[in-house]
Chain A
Protein backbone atom coordinates (compact mmCIF):
# COMPACT_ATOMS: atom_id res chain seq x y z
CA UNK A 1 0.00 0.00 0.00
CA UNK A 2 1.53 3.31 -1.08
CA UNK A 3 -1.09 5.76 0.10
CA UNK A 4 -3.99 5.44 2.47
CA UNK A 5 -6.39 8.29 3.11
CA UNK A 6 -8.85 7.93 5.96
CA UNK A 7 -11.87 10.06 6.73
CA UNK A 8 -10.21 13.21 5.44
CA UNK A 9 -11.91 16.56 6.14
CA UNK A 10 -10.88 19.98 4.94
CA UNK A 11 -12.60 23.14 6.07
CA UNK A 12 -11.14 26.36 4.67
CA UNK A 13 -10.90 29.47 6.80
CA UNK A 14 -13.72 30.92 4.72
CA UNK A 15 -15.91 28.14 6.10
CA UNK A 16 -16.11 26.07 2.89
CA UNK A 17 -16.28 22.40 3.77
CA UNK A 18 -14.35 21.15 0.73
CA UNK A 19 -13.69 17.52 1.76
CA UNK A 20 -16.21 15.62 3.85
CA UNK A 21 -14.72 12.39 5.05
CA UNK A 22 -12.83 11.09 2.04
CA UNK A 23 -11.29 7.59 2.35
CA UNK A 24 -9.43 5.58 -0.27
CA UNK A 25 -6.28 3.57 -0.85
CA UNK A 26 -3.73 3.58 -3.63
CA UNK A 27 -1.54 0.62 -4.53
CA UNK A 28 1.92 0.99 -5.94
CA UNK A 29 1.94 1.37 -9.74
CA UNK A 30 -1.66 2.51 -10.09
CA UNK A 31 -2.83 5.30 -12.38
CA UNK A 32 -5.64 6.73 -10.31
CA UNK A 33 -7.78 9.43 -11.84
CA UNK A 34 -9.99 11.74 -9.78
CA UNK A 35 -12.99 13.23 -11.53
CA UNK A 36 -15.81 15.51 -10.44
CA UNK A 37 -17.45 18.83 -11.15
CA UNK A 38 -15.66 22.12 -10.64
CA UNK A 39 -15.59 22.83 -6.91
CA UNK A 40 -16.07 19.19 -5.92
CA UNK A 41 -12.77 19.22 -4.03
CA UNK A 42 -10.32 17.56 -6.41
CA UNK A 43 -7.56 20.11 -6.03
CA UNK A 44 -8.12 20.29 -2.30
CA UNK A 45 -7.62 16.53 -2.06
CA UNK A 46 -4.30 16.55 -3.93
CA UNK A 47 -3.07 19.54 -1.96
CA UNK A 48 -3.83 17.80 1.31
CA UNK A 49 -1.93 14.71 0.21
CA UNK A 50 1.35 16.57 -0.28
CA UNK A 51 0.50 18.96 2.53
CA UNK A 52 0.45 22.17 0.54
CA UNK A 53 -2.58 22.80 2.72
CA UNK A 54 -3.33 21.42 6.17
CA UNK A 55 -6.09 18.84 6.43
CA UNK A 56 -8.62 19.68 9.15
CA UNK A 57 -9.00 16.11 10.33
CA UNK A 58 -8.43 12.54 9.18
CA UNK A 59 -5.32 10.51 8.46
CA UNK A 60 -2.99 10.38 5.48
CA UNK A 61 -0.59 7.46 5.40
CA UNK A 62 2.21 7.43 2.85
CA UNK A 63 4.38 4.32 2.59
CA UNK A 64 2.94 3.10 5.83
CA UNK A 65 3.80 6.27 7.71
CA UNK A 66 1.31 8.78 9.12
CA UNK A 67 2.20 12.09 7.43
CA UNK A 68 -0.91 14.03 8.39
CA UNK A 69 0.77 16.25 10.96
CA UNK A 70 4.50 15.91 10.37
CA UNK A 71 6.49 19.12 10.26
CA UNK A 72 9.86 20.61 9.36
CA UNK A 73 12.56 18.27 8.13
CA UNK A 74 10.26 15.26 8.18
CA UNK A 75 7.69 17.07 6.04
CA UNK A 76 10.37 18.11 3.57
CA UNK A 77 11.54 14.52 3.26
CA UNK A 78 8.05 13.32 2.46
CA UNK A 79 7.45 16.16 -0.01
CA UNK A 80 10.62 15.13 -1.84
CA UNK A 81 9.07 11.77 -2.58
CA UNK A 82 5.84 13.23 -3.93
CA UNK A 83 6.03 15.12 -7.22
CA UNK A 84 3.35 17.56 -8.27
CA UNK A 85 2.31 18.94 -11.64
CA UNK A 86 -0.09 21.90 -11.84
CA UNK A 87 -2.60 23.14 -14.37
CA UNK A 88 -0.73 26.42 -14.76
CA UNK A 89 2.68 24.69 -15.09
CA UNK A 90 4.11 27.03 -12.45
CA UNK A 91 7.56 27.31 -13.97
CA UNK A 92 9.94 30.14 -13.15
CA UNK A 93 9.33 32.11 -16.32
CA UNK A 94 12.58 34.02 -16.60
CA UNK A 95 14.80 30.99 -15.97
CA UNK A 96 16.01 28.46 -18.49
CA UNK A 97 14.31 25.12 -18.97
CA UNK A 98 17.34 23.42 -17.46
CA UNK A 99 17.35 25.42 -14.23
CA UNK A 100 13.63 24.85 -13.91
CA UNK A 101 14.21 21.12 -14.11
CA UNK A 102 17.05 21.28 -11.59
CA UNK A 103 14.68 23.11 -9.21
CA UNK A 104 13.03 19.73 -8.74
CA UNK A 105 16.19 18.52 -7.04
CA UNK A 106 16.48 21.38 -4.53
CA UNK A 107 15.31 19.25 -1.62
CA UNK A 108 18.36 17.02 -1.78
CA UNK A 109 20.87 19.76 -2.65
CA UNK A 110 22.69 21.89 -0.09
CA UNK A 111 21.36 25.39 0.49
CA UNK A 112 24.68 27.04 -0.32
CA UNK A 113 25.28 25.04 -3.46
CA UNK A 114 21.81 25.76 -4.75
CA UNK A 115 22.14 29.49 -4.14
CA UNK A 116 25.40 29.69 -6.09
CA UNK A 117 23.79 27.46 -8.71
CA UNK A 118 27.02 25.49 -9.07
CA UNK A 119 25.78 21.96 -9.53
CA UNK A 120 27.78 18.80 -10.03
CA UNK A 121 27.91 17.10 -13.43
CA UNK A 122 25.77 14.36 -12.02
CA UNK A 123 22.92 16.79 -11.39
CA UNK A 124 23.13 18.10 -14.96
CA UNK A 125 23.23 14.57 -16.29
CA UNK A 126 20.12 13.70 -14.34
CA UNK A 127 18.36 16.85 -15.53
CA UNK A 128 19.09 15.99 -19.15
CA UNK A 129 17.82 12.48 -18.57
CA UNK A 130 14.54 13.85 -17.21
CA UNK A 131 14.26 16.22 -20.17
CA UNK A 132 14.89 13.27 -22.45
CA UNK A 133 12.04 11.34 -20.87
CA UNK A 134 9.65 14.11 -21.94
CA UNK A 135 11.44 14.62 -25.25
CA UNK A 136 12.68 18.21 -25.07
CA UNK A 137 16.45 18.05 -24.50
CA UNK A 138 16.93 20.47 -27.38
CA UNK A 139 15.15 23.25 -25.47
CA UNK A 140 17.32 23.02 -22.35
CA UNK A 141 18.95 26.46 -22.68
CA UNK A 142 15.83 28.37 -23.68
CA UNK A 143 13.84 30.61 -21.33
CA UNK A 144 10.90 28.67 -19.94
CA UNK A 145 8.26 31.23 -20.91
CA UNK A 146 9.21 31.11 -24.57
CA UNK A 147 7.89 27.55 -24.86
CA UNK A 148 4.37 26.55 -25.85
CA UNK A 149 1.90 25.42 -23.20
CA UNK A 150 2.38 21.75 -23.93
CA UNK A 151 6.15 22.07 -23.82
CA UNK A 152 5.99 24.00 -20.56
CA UNK A 153 3.92 21.25 -19.00
CA UNK A 154 6.49 18.72 -20.14
CA UNK A 155 9.20 20.78 -18.44
CA UNK A 156 7.07 20.76 -15.30
CA UNK A 157 6.82 16.98 -15.55
CA UNK A 158 10.60 16.75 -15.98
CA UNK A 159 11.00 18.93 -12.89
CA UNK A 160 8.92 16.55 -10.81
CA UNK A 161 10.79 13.55 -12.26
CA UNK A 162 13.98 15.14 -10.99
CA UNK A 163 12.66 14.32 -7.50
CA UNK A 164 12.59 10.60 -8.31
CA UNK A 165 9.10 10.62 -6.86
CA UNK A 166 7.35 7.56 -5.51
CA UNK A 167 4.06 9.28 -6.17
CA UNK A 168 3.22 11.83 -8.84
CA UNK A 169 0.24 14.14 -8.29
CA UNK A 170 -1.19 16.02 -11.25
CA UNK A 171 -3.88 18.66 -10.80
CA UNK A 172 -5.69 18.97 -14.13
CA UNK A 173 -2.39 18.90 -16.00
CA UNK A 174 -4.00 19.28 -19.43
CA UNK A 175 -6.92 21.59 -18.65
CA UNK A 176 -5.32 24.60 -20.35
CA UNK A 177 -4.06 22.72 -23.40
CA UNK A 178 -5.72 21.90 -26.72
CA UNK A 179 -7.03 18.35 -27.28
CA UNK A 180 -4.11 17.10 -29.38
CA UNK A 181 -1.50 18.47 -26.99
CA UNK A 182 -3.50 17.14 -24.04
CA UNK A 183 -3.22 13.66 -25.40
CA UNK A 184 0.51 13.88 -26.00
CA UNK A 185 1.12 15.23 -22.49
CA UNK A 186 -1.03 12.47 -21.01
CA UNK A 187 1.09 9.94 -22.90
CA UNK A 188 4.11 11.10 -20.95
CA UNK A 189 2.29 10.43 -17.71
CA UNK A 190 1.44 7.00 -19.02
CA UNK A 191 5.04 6.38 -19.99
CA UNK A 192 6.27 7.42 -16.54
CA UNK A 193 3.67 5.22 -14.91
CA UNK A 194 4.45 2.18 -17.06
CA UNK A 195 8.19 2.47 -17.55
CA UNK A 196 9.37 4.03 -14.31
CA UNK A 197 6.63 2.42 -12.25
CA UNK A 198 5.73 5.75 -10.64
CA UNK A 199 2.28 5.81 -9.08
CA UNK A 200 0.15 8.60 -10.53
CA UNK A 201 -2.87 10.39 -9.09
CA UNK A 202 -4.34 12.74 -11.64
CA UNK A 203 -7.33 15.10 -11.70
CA UNK A 204 -9.01 15.11 -15.08
CA UNK A 205 -12.05 16.64 -16.70
CA UNK A 206 -12.52 14.69 -19.92
CA UNK A 207 -13.97 11.22 -19.64
CA UNK A 208 -12.39 10.07 -22.89
CA UNK A 209 -8.98 10.79 -21.37
CA UNK A 210 -10.05 9.05 -18.18
CA UNK A 211 -11.09 5.91 -20.04
CA UNK A 212 -7.88 5.83 -21.97
CA UNK A 213 -5.33 6.38 -19.19
CA UNK A 214 -6.83 5.52 -15.82
CA UNK A 215 -6.40 2.17 -14.16
CA UNK A 216 -8.92 3.19 -11.54
CA UNK A 217 -11.26 6.12 -11.02
CA UNK A 218 -12.57 8.03 -8.03
CA UNK A 219 -15.43 10.47 -8.48
CA UNK A 220 -16.00 13.31 -6.04
CA UNK A 221 -19.16 15.28 -5.58
CA UNK A 222 -19.40 18.11 -3.06
CA UNK A 223 -16.41 16.75 -1.15
CA UNK A 224 -17.54 13.13 -0.97
CA UNK A 225 -16.51 10.05 -2.94
CA UNK A 226 -19.55 8.85 -4.83
CA UNK A 227 -17.90 6.40 -7.19
CA UNK A 228 -14.86 4.21 -7.06
CA UNK A 229 -14.02 1.59 -9.68
CA UNK A 230 -12.80 0.80 -13.14
CA UNK A 231 -13.09 3.50 -15.82
CA UNK A 232 -15.06 1.27 -18.18
CA UNK A 233 -17.82 0.85 -15.58
CA UNK A 234 -18.76 4.51 -15.70
CA UNK A 235 -21.95 4.22 -17.71
CA UNK A 236 -24.59 6.74 -18.67
CA UNK A 237 -26.19 6.56 -15.23
CA UNK A 238 -23.03 7.10 -13.29
CA UNK A 239 -22.08 9.89 -15.57
CA UNK A 240 -25.30 11.71 -14.77
CA UNK A 241 -24.85 11.14 -11.05
CA UNK A 242 -21.34 12.57 -11.15
CA UNK A 243 -21.88 15.49 -13.44
CA UNK A 244 -25.60 16.17 -12.96
CA UNK A 245 -28.69 15.41 -15.03
CA UNK A 246 -28.05 18.17 -17.56
CA UNK A 247 -24.56 17.01 -18.45
CA UNK A 248 -23.72 15.45 -21.77
CA UNK A 249 -20.46 13.82 -22.63
CA UNK A 250 -18.17 15.56 -25.08
CA UNK A 251 -15.54 13.66 -26.99
CA UNK A 252 -11.92 14.61 -27.10
CA UNK A 253 -9.48 12.60 -29.14
Chain B
Protein backbone atom coordinates (compact mmCIF):
# COMPACT_ATOMS: atom_id res chain seq x y z
CA UNK B 1 0.00 0.00 0.00
CA UNK B 2 1.34 3.42 -0.86
CA UNK B 3 1.27 5.87 1.99
CA UNK B 4 1.79 9.59 1.59
CA UNK B 5 5.30 10.28 2.86
CA UNK B 6 4.20 13.69 4.05
CA UNK B 7 1.46 12.29 6.26
CA UNK B 8 2.30 12.27 9.95
CA UNK B 9 2.11 8.89 11.57
CA UNK B 10 1.46 8.40 15.24
CA UNK B 11 2.37 4.81 15.96
CA UNK B 12 0.58 4.74 19.30
CA UNK B 13 -2.67 5.74 17.63
CA UNK B 14 -2.38 3.01 15.03
CA UNK B 15 -1.84 0.38 17.69
CA UNK B 16 -4.78 1.66 19.77
CA UNK B 17 -7.04 1.78 16.78
CA UNK B 18 -6.15 -1.75 15.69
CA UNK B 19 -6.95 -3.01 19.16
CA UNK B 20 -10.31 -1.25 19.27
CA UNK B 21 -11.32 -2.54 15.86
CA UNK B 22 -10.39 -6.09 16.74
CA UNK B 23 -12.33 -5.86 19.98
CA UNK B 24 -15.41 -4.70 18.09
CA UNK B 25 -15.20 -7.52 15.53
CA UNK B 26 -14.74 -10.08 18.26
CA UNK B 27 -17.87 -8.85 19.99
CA UNK B 28 -19.88 -9.23 16.76
CA UNK B 29 -18.56 -12.73 16.30
CA UNK B 30 -19.33 -13.59 19.92
CA UNK B 31 -22.92 -12.36 19.55
CA UNK B 32 -23.48 -14.52 16.47
CA UNK B 33 -21.96 -17.57 18.09
CA UNK B 34 -23.97 -17.11 21.29
CA UNK B 35 -27.19 -16.84 19.32
CA UNK B 36 -26.27 -20.08 17.61
CA UNK B 37 -25.46 -21.82 20.90
CA UNK B 38 -28.74 -20.75 22.50
CA UNK B 39 -30.82 -21.64 19.44
CA UNK B 40 -29.11 -25.01 19.22
CA UNK B 41 -29.72 -25.78 22.89
CA UNK B 42 -33.38 -24.85 22.73
CA UNK B 43 -33.98 -26.95 19.63
CA UNK B 44 -32.13 -29.98 20.93
CA UNK B 45 -33.81 -29.88 24.32
CA UNK B 46 -37.24 -29.37 22.81
CA UNK B 47 -37.10 -31.80 19.91
CA UNK B 48 -34.63 -34.57 20.68
CA UNK B 49 -34.95 -34.71 24.43
CA UNK B 50 -38.55 -33.66 25.15
CA UNK B 51 -40.48 -34.89 22.06
CA UNK B 52 -38.41 -37.94 21.20
CA UNK B 53 -37.05 -39.13 24.50
CA UNK B 54 -39.78 -38.24 27.00
CA UNK B 55 -42.91 -38.22 24.86
CA UNK B 56 -41.52 -40.85 22.43
CA UNK B 57 -43.32 -39.28 19.48
CA UNK B 58 -42.82 -40.88 16.08
CA UNK B 59 -43.70 -37.82 14.03
CA UNK B 60 -42.18 -34.62 15.33
CA UNK B 61 -44.55 -31.65 15.15
CA UNK B 62 -43.09 -28.96 12.93
CA UNK B 63 -44.17 -25.42 12.24
CA UNK B 64 -42.21 -22.48 10.87
CA UNK B 65 -43.98 -20.13 13.22
CA UNK B 66 -42.69 -21.98 16.23
CA UNK B 67 -39.13 -22.12 14.86
CA UNK B 68 -39.13 -18.40 14.16
CA UNK B 69 -40.37 -17.58 17.65
CA UNK B 70 -37.67 -19.79 19.15
CA UNK B 71 -35.10 -18.09 16.95
CA UNK B 72 -36.17 -14.63 18.06
CA UNK B 73 -35.96 -15.72 21.68
CA UNK B 74 -32.45 -17.03 20.96
CA UNK B 75 -31.44 -13.71 19.42
CA UNK B 76 -32.56 -11.84 22.51
CA UNK B 77 -30.90 -14.20 24.98
CA UNK B 78 -27.73 -14.67 22.94
CA UNK B 79 -27.20 -10.98 22.26
CA UNK B 80 -27.77 -9.84 25.80
CA UNK B 81 -25.60 -12.62 27.11
CA UNK B 82 -22.72 -11.69 24.80
CA UNK B 83 -23.05 -7.99 25.53
CA UNK B 84 -22.90 -8.70 29.26
CA UNK B 85 -19.46 -10.23 28.50
CA UNK B 86 -20.08 -13.34 30.55
CA UNK B 87 -20.92 -15.84 27.82
CA UNK B 88 -19.08 -18.86 26.45
CA UNK B 89 -18.36 -17.14 23.14
CA UNK B 90 -16.91 -14.08 24.87
CA UNK B 91 -14.55 -16.44 26.63
CA UNK B 92 -13.67 -18.12 23.32
CA UNK B 93 -12.87 -14.80 21.65
CA UNK B 94 -11.00 -13.50 24.68
CA UNK B 95 -13.26 -10.56 25.48
CA UNK B 96 -15.00 -11.91 28.57
CA UNK B 97 -14.99 -10.19 31.94
CA UNK B 98 -12.69 -11.98 34.35
CA UNK B 99 -15.00 -12.75 37.28
CA UNK B 100 -16.83 -15.55 39.08
CA UNK B 101 -20.07 -15.19 37.13
CA UNK B 102 -18.25 -15.71 33.83
CA UNK B 103 -16.36 -18.68 35.15
CA UNK B 104 -19.52 -20.38 36.40
CA UNK B 105 -21.75 -19.67 33.42
CA UNK B 106 -19.09 -20.70 30.96
CA UNK B 107 -18.32 -23.93 32.74
CA UNK B 108 -21.94 -24.94 33.32
CA UNK B 109 -23.06 -24.02 29.83
CA UNK B 110 -20.19 -25.88 28.19
CA UNK B 111 -21.07 -29.05 30.11
CA UNK B 112 -24.73 -28.54 29.31
CA UNK B 113 -23.97 -28.30 25.59
CA UNK B 114 -21.87 -31.44 25.71
CA UNK B 115 -24.51 -33.42 27.63
CA UNK B 116 -27.50 -32.51 25.47
CA UNK B 117 -25.46 -33.24 22.35
CA UNK B 118 -24.56 -36.66 23.66
CA UNK B 119 -28.15 -37.47 24.65
CA UNK B 120 -29.47 -36.26 21.32
CA UNK B 121 -26.86 -38.39 19.54
CA UNK B 122 -27.95 -41.43 21.53
CA UNK B 123 -31.62 -40.87 20.74
CA UNK B 124 -31.01 -40.22 17.05
CA UNK B 125 -28.84 -43.31 16.42
CA UNK B 126 -31.45 -45.49 18.17
CA UNK B 127 -28.81 -47.35 20.11
CA UNK B 128 -30.16 -50.77 20.95
CA UNK B 129 -28.03 -53.16 22.95
CA UNK B 130 -30.81 -55.74 22.73
CA UNK B 131 -30.63 -55.94 18.93
CA UNK B 132 -26.92 -56.63 18.99
CA UNK B 133 -27.29 -59.79 21.07
CA UNK B 134 -30.65 -61.28 20.03
CA UNK B 135 -30.64 -65.01 19.14
CA UNK B 136 -32.12 -64.33 15.74
CA UNK B 137 -29.42 -61.79 14.92
CA UNK B 138 -26.62 -63.99 16.15
CA UNK B 139 -27.81 -66.92 14.04
CA UNK B 140 -27.83 -64.79 10.89
CA UNK B 141 -24.36 -63.56 11.61
CA UNK B 142 -23.11 -67.08 12.15
CA UNK B 143 -24.49 -68.27 8.80
CA UNK B 144 -22.87 -65.34 7.04
CA UNK B 145 -19.49 -65.76 8.68
CA UNK B 146 -19.26 -69.50 8.04
CA UNK B 147 -19.95 -68.84 4.34
CA UNK B 148 -17.38 -66.08 4.24
CA UNK B 149 -14.78 -68.41 5.69
CA UNK B 150 -15.45 -71.00 3.00
CA UNK B 151 -14.84 -68.91 -0.11
CA UNK B 152 -15.96 -70.22 -3.48
CA UNK B 153 -12.90 -70.28 -5.74
CA UNK B 154 -14.94 -71.05 -8.87
CA UNK B 155 -15.26 -67.37 -9.75
CA UNK B 156 -11.58 -66.60 -9.14
CA UNK B 157 -10.68 -65.62 -12.73
CA UNK B 158 -13.69 -63.30 -13.04
CA UNK B 159 -12.88 -61.72 -9.71
CA UNK B 160 -9.23 -61.30 -10.66
CA UNK B 161 -10.20 -59.51 -13.82
CA UNK B 162 -12.54 -57.19 -11.89
CA UNK B 163 -9.82 -56.57 -9.34
CA UNK B 164 -7.36 -55.51 -12.04
CA UNK B 165 -10.00 -53.19 -13.42
CA UNK B 166 -10.33 -51.62 -9.97
CA UNK B 167 -6.58 -51.11 -9.59
CA UNK B 168 -6.39 -49.47 -13.01
CA UNK B 169 -9.35 -47.21 -12.29
CA UNK B 170 -7.51 -46.03 -9.19
CA UNK B 171 -4.22 -45.63 -11.02
CA UNK B 172 -5.63 -43.62 -13.92
CA UNK B 173 -7.63 -41.38 -11.59
CA UNK B 174 -4.49 -40.70 -9.59
CA UNK B 175 -2.30 -39.99 -12.62
CA UNK B 176 -4.77 -37.68 -14.33
CA UNK B 177 -5.31 -35.83 -11.06
CA UNK B 178 -1.66 -34.76 -10.78
CA UNK B 179 -1.41 -31.81 -13.25
CA UNK B 180 -4.65 -30.05 -12.22
CA UNK B 181 -3.85 -30.63 -8.55
CA UNK B 182 -0.40 -29.09 -8.94
CA UNK B 183 -1.81 -26.04 -10.64
CA UNK B 184 -4.60 -25.54 -8.11
CA UNK B 185 -2.38 -26.12 -5.09
CA UNK B 186 -0.22 -23.09 -5.88
CA UNK B 187 -3.31 -20.93 -6.00
CA UNK B 188 -4.60 -22.28 -2.70
CA UNK B 189 -1.39 -21.79 -0.72
CA UNK B 190 -1.90 -18.89 1.63
CA UNK B 191 1.75 -17.83 1.76
CA UNK B 192 1.90 -17.38 -2.01
CA UNK B 193 -1.47 -15.67 -2.40
CA UNK B 194 -1.80 -13.35 0.59
CA UNK B 195 0.18 -10.53 -1.01
CA UNK B 196 -2.53 -8.57 -2.78
CA UNK B 197 -6.30 -8.44 -2.64
CA UNK B 198 -7.04 -10.02 -6.02
CA UNK B 199 -4.84 -13.05 -5.48
CA UNK B 200 -6.26 -13.43 -1.99
CA UNK B 201 -9.78 -13.41 -3.41
CA UNK B 202 -8.80 -16.14 -5.88
CA UNK B 203 -7.29 -18.11 -3.00
CA UNK B 204 -10.43 -17.72 -0.95
CA UNK B 205 -12.88 -18.71 -3.69
CA UNK B 206 -10.80 -21.72 -4.74
CA UNK B 207 -10.59 -22.86 -1.13
CA UNK B 208 -14.37 -22.71 -0.75
CA UNK B 209 -14.90 -24.69 -3.95
CA UNK B 210 -12.35 -27.31 -2.90
CA UNK B 211 -13.86 -27.64 0.56
CA UNK B 212 -17.26 -28.12 -0.98
CA UNK B 213 -16.05 -30.75 -3.46
CA UNK B 214 -14.12 -32.56 -0.77
CA UNK B 215 -17.02 -32.61 1.61
CA UNK B 216 -18.97 -34.71 -0.89
CA UNK B 217 -17.92 -38.32 -0.56
CA UNK B 218 -16.54 -40.14 -3.63
CA UNK B 219 -19.48 -42.50 -3.25
CA UNK B 220 -21.88 -39.63 -3.94
CA UNK B 221 -19.75 -38.43 -6.84
CA UNK B 222 -19.91 -41.94 -8.29
CA UNK B 223 -23.70 -41.88 -8.11
CA UNK B 224 -23.76 -38.47 -9.80
CA UNK B 225 -21.40 -39.51 -12.57
CA UNK B 226 -23.02 -42.89 -13.18
CA UNK B 227 -26.17 -40.96 -14.02
CA UNK B 228 -24.15 -38.51 -16.11
CA UNK B 229 -21.87 -40.84 -18.15
CA UNK B 230 -23.58 -44.15 -17.47
CA UNK B 231 -22.81 -46.92 -15.01
CA UNK B 232 -19.34 -48.42 -15.28
CA UNK B 233 -15.62 -47.94 -14.74
CA UNK B 234 -15.57 -44.51 -16.37
CA UNK B 235 -18.03 -43.05 -13.86
CA UNK B 236 -15.99 -44.55 -11.04
CA UNK B 237 -12.78 -43.09 -12.43
CA UNK B 238 -14.19 -39.58 -12.73
CA UNK B 239 -15.59 -39.77 -9.21
CA UNK B 240 -12.18 -40.70 -7.84
CA UNK B 241 -10.52 -38.07 -10.00
CA UNK B 242 -12.69 -35.28 -8.66
CA UNK B 243 -12.17 -36.36 -5.10
CA UNK B 244 -8.41 -36.87 -5.58
CA UNK B 245 -7.97 -33.38 -6.95
CA UNK B 246 -9.86 -31.78 -4.10
CA UNK B 247 -8.16 -33.80 -1.38
CA UNK B 248 -4.63 -33.65 -2.72
CA UNK B 249 -4.83 -29.96 -3.55
CA UNK B 250 -5.39 -29.42 0.16
CA UNK B 251 -2.46 -31.62 1.16
CA UNK B 252 -0.20 -30.13 -1.52
CA UNK B 253 -1.06 -26.56 -0.62
CA UNK B 254 -0.55 -27.31 3.06
CA UNK B 255 2.93 -28.55 2.31
CA UNK B 256 3.54 -25.41 0.27
CA UNK B 257 2.41 -23.41 3.27
CA UNK B 258 4.82 -25.21 5.57
CA UNK B 259 7.97 -24.69 3.51
CA UNK B 260 10.92 -22.83 4.94
CA UNK B 261 10.42 -19.11 4.37
CA UNK B 262 14.16 -18.38 4.44
CA UNK B 263 15.13 -19.62 0.96
CA UNK B 264 12.04 -17.96 -0.52
CA UNK B 265 13.07 -14.68 1.04
CA UNK B 266 16.64 -15.12 -0.13
CA UNK B 267 15.60 -15.72 -3.73
CA UNK B 268 13.13 -12.85 -3.76
CA UNK B 269 15.87 -10.61 -2.34
CA UNK B 270 17.95 -11.27 -5.46
CA UNK B 271 15.29 -9.57 -7.57
CA UNK B 272 13.84 -12.75 -9.06
CA UNK B 273 10.29 -12.52 -10.41
CA UNK B 274 7.30 -14.36 -8.98
CA UNK B 275 7.50 -17.36 -11.31
CA UNK B 276 11.21 -17.75 -10.67
CA UNK B 277 10.69 -17.57 -6.93
CA UNK B 278 8.11 -20.34 -7.07
CA UNK B 279 10.19 -22.51 -9.39
CA UNK B 280 13.56 -22.11 -7.68
CA UNK B 281 12.65 -21.67 -4.02
CA UNK B 282 9.24 -23.29 -3.51
CA UNK B 283 9.26 -26.25 -5.90
CA UNK B 284 12.55 -27.84 -4.73
CA UNK B 285 11.13 -27.94 -1.22
CA UNK B 286 7.91 -29.68 -2.13
CA UNK B 287 8.72 -32.35 -4.75
CA UNK B 288 9.23 -35.07 -2.18
CA UNK B 289 6.09 -34.45 -0.15
CA UNK B 290 4.11 -34.19 -3.37
CA UNK B 291 5.39 -37.52 -4.62
CA UNK B 292 4.66 -39.09 -1.29
CA UNK B 293 1.09 -37.72 -1.16
CA UNK B 294 0.43 -38.90 -4.70
CA UNK B 295 1.51 -42.47 -4.00
CA UNK B 296 -0.57 -42.45 -0.85
CA UNK B 297 -3.53 -41.20 -2.88
CA UNK B 298 -3.23 -44.14 -5.25
CA UNK B 299 -3.34 -46.44 -2.26
CA UNK B 300 -6.46 -44.69 -0.93
CA UNK B 301 -8.03 -44.70 -4.38
CA UNK B 302 -7.73 -48.47 -4.66
CA UNK B 303 -9.77 -48.82 -1.46
CA UNK B 304 -12.26 -46.24 -2.59
CA UNK B 305 -12.55 -47.83 -6.02
CA UNK B 306 -13.81 -51.02 -4.42
CA UNK B 307 -16.44 -49.07 -2.47
CA UNK B 308 -17.42 -47.02 -5.49
CA UNK B 309 -17.98 -50.23 -7.39
CA UNK B 310 -20.86 -50.92 -4.97
CA UNK B 311 -22.89 -48.14 -6.55
CA UNK B 312 -21.99 -49.01 -10.12
CA UNK B 313 -18.51 -47.61 -10.49
CA UNK B 314 -17.25 -50.83 -12.08
CA UNK B 315 -14.57 -53.26 -10.96
CA UNK B 316 -14.57 -55.61 -8.01
CA UNK B 317 -17.08 -53.57 -6.03
CA UNK B 318 -19.79 -53.98 -8.66
CA UNK B 319 -19.14 -57.70 -8.68
CA UNK B 320 -19.36 -57.84 -4.88
CA UNK B 321 -22.69 -56.04 -5.05
CA UNK B 322 -24.11 -58.52 -7.54
CA UNK B 323 -23.24 -61.60 -5.48
CA UNK B 324 -24.40 -59.95 -2.30
CA UNK B 325 -27.74 -59.24 -3.97
CA UNK B 326 -28.05 -62.94 -4.78
CA UNK B 327 -27.12 -63.80 -1.19
CA UNK B 328 -24.31 -66.02 -2.46
CA UNK B 329 -22.14 -65.52 0.57
CA UNK B 330 -19.37 -67.94 -0.39
CA UNK B 331 -18.64 -65.95 -3.56
CA UNK B 332 -18.84 -62.78 -1.51
CA UNK B 333 -16.35 -64.40 0.86
CA UNK B 334 -13.83 -64.86 -1.95
CA UNK B 335 -14.22 -61.29 -3.15
CA UNK B 336 -13.83 -59.85 0.33
CA UNK B 337 -10.72 -61.98 0.79
CA UNK B 338 -9.23 -60.67 -2.45
CA UNK B 339 -10.02 -57.07 -1.59
CA UNK B 340 -8.41 -57.46 1.82
CA UNK B 341 -5.30 -58.97 0.23
CA UNK B 342 -4.93 -56.25 -2.44
CA UNK B 343 -5.51 -53.43 0.04
CA UNK B 344 -2.92 -54.93 2.34
CA UNK B 345 -0.36 -55.27 -0.48
CA UNK B 346 -1.02 -51.71 -1.72
CA UNK B 347 -0.67 -50.37 1.78
CA UNK B 348 2.65 -52.14 2.18
CA UNK B 349 4.03 -51.07 -1.20
CA UNK B 350 3.03 -47.44 -0.84
CA UNK B 351 4.50 -47.28 2.66
CA UNK B 352 7.76 -48.78 1.38
CA UNK B 353 8.02 -46.38 -1.56
CA UNK B 354 7.28 -43.40 0.66
CA UNK B 355 9.94 -44.54 3.11
CA UNK B 356 12.47 -44.91 0.31
CA UNK B 357 11.76 -41.39 -0.95
CA UNK B 358 12.62 -39.70 2.32
Interface residues of A (CB under 8 A from B): 9, 11, 13, 15, 17, 20, 50, 52, 54, 56-59, 68-69, 76-84, 86, 88-95, 103-109, 111, 114-115, 156, 159-160, 162-163
Contact = CB atoms under 8 A, between A and B. Distances in A.
The 9 closest A-B pairs by CB, nearest first: A107-B271, A80-B271, A106-B272, A90-B266, A79-B271, A90-B262, A84-B269, A15-B15, A57-B9
A210 to B, nearest CB: 24
B11 A11 contact: yes
A196 to B, nearest CB: 17
Contacts of A78: 271
Contacts of A108: 271
Interface size range on B against A:
20 to 34
B11 A17 contact: yes
Contacts of B121: none
A114 to B, nearest CB: 5
B265 A90 contact: yes
B273 A57 contact: no
B99 interface: no
Contact of B9 (A56, A86, A114): A56
Contacts of A57: 3, 5, 7, 9
Contact of B270 (A17, A59, A163): A163
Interface of A (DSSP majority class): mixed
B18 interface: yes
B280 interface: yes
Interface of B (DSSP majority class): helix
Nearest to B14: A11
Interface string B206-220: 000000000000000
Contacts of A54: 1
A114 B280 contact: yes
Contacts of A109: 276
B137 interface: no
14 contacts: A9-B9, A20-B11, A59-B5, A80-B270, A80-B271, A90-B265, A94-B284, A94-B285, A105-B270, A106-B267, A111-B275, A114-B280, A115-B275, A162-B270
B17 to A, nearest CB: 10
A76 to B, nearest CB: 5
B2 A69 contact: yes
B277 to A, nearest CB: 8
B279 interface: yes
B308 to A, nearest CB: 37
B269 A52 contact: yes
A86 B275 contact: no
Interface string B7-25: 1010100110011000000
A57 B276 CA distance: 30
A72 to B, nearest CB: 10
B223 interface: no
Contacts of B18: 13, 15
A205 to B, nearest CB: 19
